[in-house]
Amino acid sequence: MNRRDWIKGLGLGVGAGAVGLMSPSNAFAAEARRGTKSLAPLKITKVRAIKTAPQRARLVVVKVETSEPGLYGLGCATFNQRPLAVVTAVEEYLDPFARGRDVDNIEDLWQNAYTSSYWRNGPVLNNALSGLDMALWDIKGKRAGMPVYQLIGGKCRFAADCYVHSSGRDLKELEESVKKNMELGFRHIRIQLGAYGSPHLSTKADFRDAGFGAPQDTLMEARPYLKATPKMFEHIRNTCGEEIELLHDMHERVEPRDAIRLLKELERYRPFFIEDPVAPEANDYFRQIRAATTVPIAMGELFNSPHEWVGLMKERLIDFIRVHLSQTGGFSVARKIATLAEWFNVRSAWHGPNDVSPVGHAANIHLDLAIHNFGIQESLTFSDAMREVFPGCPTVKDGYFYVNEAPGWGVDINEEAAKKFPYPEQPGYWEPVRRRDGTAVRP
Ligand code: MG
């Protein structure tokens, strides 16, 4: 190579190098590197559980602290009936497991935390894991400066259409409650006579006379409930009109054969959905239910593992998934269940009673906003005490549930206020319900 060629080559080389550095792909890579640097690596420094009960239910909220001072995330881990077991799982097991790990890799952390106990998929561990999972999504939203629904694709609707509960000991009381809720703007109302299974309609607690069980155990006979429920639907249709959408929860309290007959009787009143017609142990009856009636079915509140939905979905045996987000392991899991459900025309109906914290309610709504196969959202009216403890609570207006636009879940916790609402002294048992002869009724 002569000197002229060498210089020419050098020139080309330098030129090529310079062009290379400025090419769109390299410029993009450099920009990406700068972007990554702006999100400095963060570590989890502490995972702890906050106990509070501003609205009776024993809430467990997980707070994940990070190596960036002041940056933390919140997650719902509420298991009203066994809250202290969840607190132990969070503080004795998840905290040491998660400390020092990368805040950003939510799925990786979830998978490893899930199997870190080897045995898994129980409500205690799933709730603890959910607290961690949701808190990491909250942190990611805060880091991005976006509400979580933006991180998973943005809005499919402006707010979550929701249902409210109406109950009454008799038809007149129930009718008044339904009309009041209609005036508030609700288009969907879940109706029931008294408590689940209308236990007040039963009269003969022979087990008490015989000294069987404890005095506070509840009586619930299936027959009065099965007779009263079609009459309840008929009365509300006659007095409240055809427009309002009616929902009802059977709460798994009758025999499968009776459940099928009741569903057939209710079909003429066009329920929006009937929830939990049979217990999870009787899942095989859904084929018969489906063959017998077109009433839309909601199912799954008691499921633990996301795998419990697979069979019901792929055989198209249900229409709505009832999922208690924290019970199944958190936002990440519920999002996967929703995605699976979309392929089978199953719509969402996330569980939203008072034993879900406002952080959990916010997670429900963020998912409602971002998934195509949203069905309906169970709503809760938050008390003044709840709003004091949880600034940024979701709000209900004209039958729609809204989250605010703050980054993450948009819900914070005032830990000083939380301390003012300790758990009630009575443990949160699901009180025993018995047939007339004392046989235990499974919810
Ligand atoms: Mg239910």
**262: its two tokens:** 């009741």
The radius of gyration of the chain's CA atoms, rounded to the nearest angstrom, is 26
Expressed in angstroms and rounded, the spacing between residue 26 Cα and the centre of ligand 1 is 54
Expressed in angstroms and rounded, the spacing between residue 13 Cα and the centre of ligand 1 is 71
Q: Single out the catalytic residue among 251, 324, 361, 366.
A: 251
Expressed in angstroms and rounded, the spacing between residue 442 Cα and the centre of ligand 1 is 13
Expressed in angstroms and rounded, the spacing between residue 299 Cα and the centre of ligand 1 is 8
Which residues of the chain does CATH 3.30.390.10 include?
44-147
Q: Is the pTM of this model over 0.95?
A: no
Give the pLDDT confidence score for residue 9 in this predicted structure.
39
Report the top-level CATH class of 44-147.
Answer: alpha beta
For residues 197 and 210, give the distance between their C-alpha atoms in angstroms, rounded to a whole number: 23
Phi, psi (rounded to 5 degrees) for 377: -120, 130
Q: 114, 306 in Cβ contact below 8 A?
A: no
The closest of 413, 115, 159, 417 to 149, measured between CA atoms, is 159
Expressed in angstroms and rounded, the spacing between residue 90 Cα and the centre of ligand 1 is 26
Give the pLDDT confidence score for residue 55 in this predicted structure.
96
Q: 61, 50 in Cβ contact below 8 A?
A: yes
Q: 250, 302 in Cβ contact below 8 A?
A: no
For residues 405 and 123, give the distance between their C-alpha atoms in angstroms, rounded to a whole number: 31
Expressed in angstroms and rounded, the spacing between residue 247 Cα and the centre of ligand 1 is 11
Q: 429, 422 in Cβ contact below 8 A?
A: no
Give the pLDDT confidence score for residue 215 in this predicted structure.
87
Expressed in angstroms and rounded, the spacing between residue 374 Cα and the centre of ligand 1 is 18
Which residues of the chain does CATH 3.20.20.120 include?
150-406
Instruction: Write down how long the chain is.
Output: 443
How wide is the angle at C-alpha 259 spanned by C-alphas 317 and 325, nearest 5°? 55
Expressed in angstroms and rounded, the spacing between residue 33 Cα and the centre of ligand 1 is 48
DSSP string, 314-350: HTT--SEE---HHHHT-HHHHHHHHHHHHHTT-EE--
10-residue averages of pLDDT along the chain (443 residues): 41 40 58 60 97 97 97 98 97 98 97 95 96 98 98 98 97 98 98 90 91 92 95 98 97 93 98 95 95 97 91 96 96 97 97 97 98 98 98 98 97 98 87 93 83
Q: 88, 62 in Cβ contact below 8 A?
A: no
Helical pair 331-343 and 123-144, crossing angle rounded to 10 deg: 90
Q: 275, 301 in Cβ contact below 8 A?
A: yes
**50: its two tokens:** 């906050």
Expressed in angstroms and rounded, the spacing between residue 225 Cα and the centre of ligand 1 is 16
The closest of 338, 389, 383 to 363, measured between CA atoms, is 338
In CATH terms, the superfamily for domain 150-406 is: Enolase-like C-terminal domain (3.20.20.120)
Q: Is 196 a catalytic residue?
A: yes
At position 226, the amino acid (one-letter code) is L
Q: Which residues contact 188 (CB under 8 A, 6 or more apart)?
A: 161, 162, 163, 164, 244, 245, 247, 272, 376, 399
For residues 123 and 121, give the distance between their C-alpha atoms in angstroms, rounded to a whole number: 7
For residues 391 and 51, give the distance between their C-alpha atoms in angstroms, rounded to a whole number: 16
Phi, psi (rounded to 5 degrees) for 38: -70, -25
Q: Is 251 a catalytic residue?
A: yes
Expressed in angstroms and rounded, the spacing between residue 333 Cα and the centre of ligand 1 is 19
Expressed in angstroms and rounded, the spacing between residue 145 Cα and the centre of ligand 1 is 35
The closest of 205, 201, 183 to 192, measured between CA atoms, is 201
Expressed in angstroms and rounded, the spacing between residue 7 Cα and the centre of ligand 1 is 80
For residues 60 and 358, give the distance between their C-alpha atoms in angstroms, rounded to a whole number: 11
Using H for helix, E for strand and C for coil, what is the string for 363-424? HHHHHHHHCCCECCEECCCCCHHHHHHCCCCCEEECCEEECCCCCECCCCCCHHHHHCCCCC
Q: Single out the catalytic residue among 114, 149, 163, 196.
A: 196
Give me the helices (H) in 145-248, please: 148-151, 171-183, 206-209, 222-240
At position 433, the amino acid (one-letter code) is V
